Amino acid sequence: MITLYHCDGARSFRPLWMLEELGLDYELKMLPFPPRVLAKEYLAINPLGTIPFLIDGDTRMTESSGICYYLGAKYGPTPLMVGLEEKQYGAFLNWMYFSDATLTFPQTLVLRYTQLEPEERRSPQVATDYAKWFLGRLRAVEAATANAEFLSAGRFTAADIVIGYAHRLDWLALYQPGPLRMPNEQGIYRDVMALESRYQDMKGHHERTVKAQLDLIPKRATGRAVLAEIGRKPSHKVTIFPFDFLPSGQWKSETAAATEATVIMPTPEMIAAWRANPAVPPAALQPQLDGMLKGTQWSRLDFTYPATGAGTGVYMFYTAQRFDDQPMGADDALLHELVHAARLAKGLSFQAPVSGSYRNMEEFFASVVQMVYRSERRQSIFDYAGAPIDAASFLDKNLTPSPRLLMGWLRSQQGTFYAALTKADASFNPMRQADAEAAALTRKIEHAT
């Protein structure tokens, strides 16, 4: 499988477009920009820190236009490439090199000295000079497309893709566009717009597939209990991103995982603000949390945070299709993450280890609730490592802490949620079982006294 590292708005758009035109399967890894600063782990993958980076088997490439050429040559034949035997081969090759060496180079300087550098290092002079330079060089494109729809060989080729990048909406905003870069509505740049709409399609697809799974969840009592628990913290948003948006800091440990619920670590100032003025709804802080999404302050929840008990917005990373070939279903995997989300939103996160396969208390709770849901659907039930569970003896399982103690914790931390879970009509329902045991014990004690 081909992997492409990409930042929205960056040159990696060229190979992305080429991959789409060729209809190849690929994995897209999104990074915050600039990754050199905001996703330092990426330097271990691409020491240059630049975007794009393509992995295809043993092949590693960093040059956007070179990657387009490689993909066309390797996965062709395709009309996107102009062959050596064609008259326009030289012109085609010239545009391929022109795209980066001549065209994107001045663009980069403008971007750097108007936006990327810290305020004090910005330089209006560099920006103005190189904007002029860029516009001058663009005249070659203008001339070539004055009477022709395409740049070479009379058809749409990789040359149009690599030159087209310089015309993306982002860049247009930067250069205050004139008709120069939009020759006509029917021209090649319409295809750039089509790619923009493909982004929207991808977003729409994600939203539709997640919603399809979310719609299944309230059909079961377990699902309704989890959603209601999340609903008890309306001030905290739960946002579901595609799995590939998982912050790069977590790739090493988590790339094998199919889903992940993550909180953004609040800054000490934010926690202090909450404490000083509890009347301020935490929702007011949400824009700050969202701002952190840009990359600088991603962090896993650590042991110290739950002590605040304030709860927080939760970001989940989930793509329904990742469950196509897995024993667990896309809906119960989503439910599992939503249990984490419900607890994180309440400021509950107990990472104390649980023996057996469960890793920690949070995974135990999420996994058990997931299995009650599966059991309600008359599906197989298994532990965190995938081994079958015997419903009748689950509470007696030799775990540390014991399942009964863990049930008691859940009940004391989330009483309403726990009570709702006992209502689920499932042959595996340790919450109901533990409640029934407690009631029987109470009766016995009452009887004896």
Ligand X SMILES: N[C@@H](CCC(=O)N[C@@H](CS)C(=O)NCC(=O)O)C(=O)O
Between CA 420 and CA 309 the distance in angstroms is: 22
Residue 70 or 350 having the CB closest to ligand X: 70
Question: Per CB under 6 A, does 319 bind ligand X?
Answer: no
Tokens of 147: 């009477």
- Pick the piece of the chain touching ligand X (CB under 6 A) from 49-57, 129-137, 275-283, 299-307: 49-57
- Pick the piece of the chain touching ligand X (CB under 6 A) from 45-53, 90-98, 243-251, 385-393: 45-53
Residue 32 or 403 having the CB closest to ligand X: 32
Is the backbone peptide bond immediately before 34 cis, with ω within 30 degrees of 0?
yes
3-state secondary structure of 367: helix
Between CA 114 and CA 173 the distance in angstroms is: 13
Between CA 370 and CA 428 the distance in angstroms is: 11
The DSSP secondary-structure symbol of 153 reads T
Could you write out the DSSP letters of every residue in 20-70? HHHT--EEEEE--SSHHHH-GGGGGT-TT--S-EEEETTEEE--HHHHHHH
Q: Build a one-symbol-per-residue string for 65-94: x at contacts with ligand X by CB under 6 A, - elsewhere.
A: x-----------------------------
Pick the binder of ligand X from 22, 50, 222, 240 (CB under 6 A).
50
Pick the binder of ligand X from 3, 28, 36, 356 (CB under 6 A).
36
Question: Per CB under 6 A, does 11 bind ligand X?
Answer: yes
Q: How big is the chain by its Cα radius of gyration, in Å?
A: 27
Residue 47 or 179 having the CB closest to ligand X: 47
- Pick the piece of the chain touching ligand X (CB under 6 A) from 50-58, 74-82, 380-388, 396-404: 50-58
What sign does the CA torsion over 148, 154, 155, 160 have?
negative
Residues 89-108 that bind ligand X (CB under 6 A): 100
Neighbours of 40 (CB within 10 A): 12
Question: Per CB under 6 A, does 170 bind ligand X?
Answer: no
- Pick the piece of the chain touching ligand X (CB under 6 A) from 44-52, 199-207, 280-288, 370-378: 44-52
Question: Per CB under 6 A, does 63 bind ligand X?
Answer: yes
Total residues interacting with ligand X, rule: CB under 6 A? 12
Task: Answer for the pair 31, 9: CB distance below 8 angstroms, yes or no.
Answer: no
Residue 63 or 254 having the CB closest to ligand X: 63
Residue 165 or 373 having the CB closest to ligand X: 165
Question: Per CB under 6 A, does 131 bind ligand X?
Answer: no
Task: Answer for the pair 15, 7: CB distance below 8 angstroms, yes or no.
Answer: no
Residue 100 or 383 having the CB closest to ligand X: 100
Tokens of 65: 């236009």
Smallest gap, in angstroms, from Cβ of residue 163 to ligand X? 12
Residue 249 or 282 having the CB closest to ligand X: 249
Between CA 117 and CA 112 the distance in angstroms is: 6
Q: Summarize as ranges the residues that interact with ligand X (CB under 6 A).
A: 10-11, 34, 36, 49-52, 63-65, 100
